[in-house]
Amino acid sequence: MTDRGRLAGYVDTWWQAVNDLLDLLEQVPADRWRTPTDLPGWDVHAVAAHLAHLEAVLAGAPEEQVEIGEAAHVRGPMGVYLEQGVVARRDRTPDELLNEIREAATARHTALLADPPTDGSARPARIFGEVPWDWERLLRNRPLDVWMHEQDIRRAVDLPGGMDSAGARHTAAYLAESLGFVLAKRAGAPAGTTAVLDVGGQPPVAYVVGADGRGEPLAEMPTEPTVCLRLEREAFIVLAGGRREPDPGCVEVSGDQDLGRRILASFAVTP
């Protein structure tokens, strides 16, 4: 597939994820917007404010410089940057946040359709927080961010759903690619170790630790992998997203049990 076609696919998935998010936010009762989510220090309102912030900046809005005060949950410069967007919107109503997300995303979607990026390695003219991302990484990460936060909100207000959407499939497949890194670097598995990750609703993936100590994807499933992890999509998302531990009994480990535990303990790969 050409860069243009792949990037256009990311844009389509992000746009569907944005619309799914807006549909959800319209269902959240007024008295539930201050419900805490799995993200430390962020309630539903803060999550929506965060998404409004990034979509607004990407659509051309000026950066906001505000004092965030004491915030124990904030880590590092990027954490400060993201918190500024949340604090700047602290007094906005739910309708104002909804409208900001809708208007910013619509403007950006229109611009991306009118002048689609064609080179994944090129740098976007506009990006949030001055992160050094190219078009490939930016457009691939936006559906993940939007959908993961949709699920944060759903868990907080007990409105489950969206587990088989375009954003869900994109995010689960994307996060599954981290298995090689987790296996080789975080779990410290030796060369020759093989691992299979079987997440419900998508094809399983397999990785092997090479002689150079790096995890590499396998084109074919090993008949007897060193370890195999099986879990449903929601359990995998909360695990890989660093949100919470999966519910008891939601993860099946076969093969090397100790290695399986080490992988599960270190699979939180989103920031």
pLDDT digits (tens, 9 = 90+) for 94-125: 999 999 999 999 999 999 999 999 999 999 99
Cα dihedral: 111, 129, 170, 271 (round 10): -170
CATH number for the 177-265 domain, one of 3.30.300.30, 3.30.830.10, 3.30.70.120, 3.30.1050.10? 3.30.1050.10
CATH topology of domain 3-157: Four Helix Bundle (Hemerythrin (Met), subunit A) (1.20.120)
Q: Which residues in the chain are classed under CATH 1.20.120.450?
A: 3-157
pLDDT-derived band at 196, boundaries 50, 70, 90: very high
pLDDT on residue 72: 85
pLDDT band of residue 169 (cuts 50, 70, 90) is very high
Give 248's pLDDT tier (boundaries 50, 70, 90).
confident
Cα distance between residue 229 and residue 34, in whole Å: 36
pTM: 0.95
**In the structure, what pLDDT confidence band is assigned to residue 150 with cuts at 50, 70 and 90?**
very high
* pLDDT above 80: residue 271: no
Q: What is the pLDDT of residue 132?
A: 95
| Higher-pLDDT residue of 7, 72 | 7
pLDDT in tens, 38-91: 999 999 999 999 999 999 999 999 998 898 888 889 988 999 999 999 999 999
CA distances from 65 to 68, 136, 174, 212 (A): 9, 28, 32, 44
Strand ordering across the sheet containing 251-255: 215-217, 205-209, 194-199, 227-231, 251-255
Specify the domain boundaries for CATH 3.30.1050.10 within the chain. Answer: 177-265
pLDDT given for residue 70 in this prediction: 84
DSSP letter at 43 equals B
Per-residue pLDDT tens digits for 200-247: 999 999 999 999 999 999 999 999 999 999 999 999 999 999 999 998
Residue 69: predicted pLDDT: 85
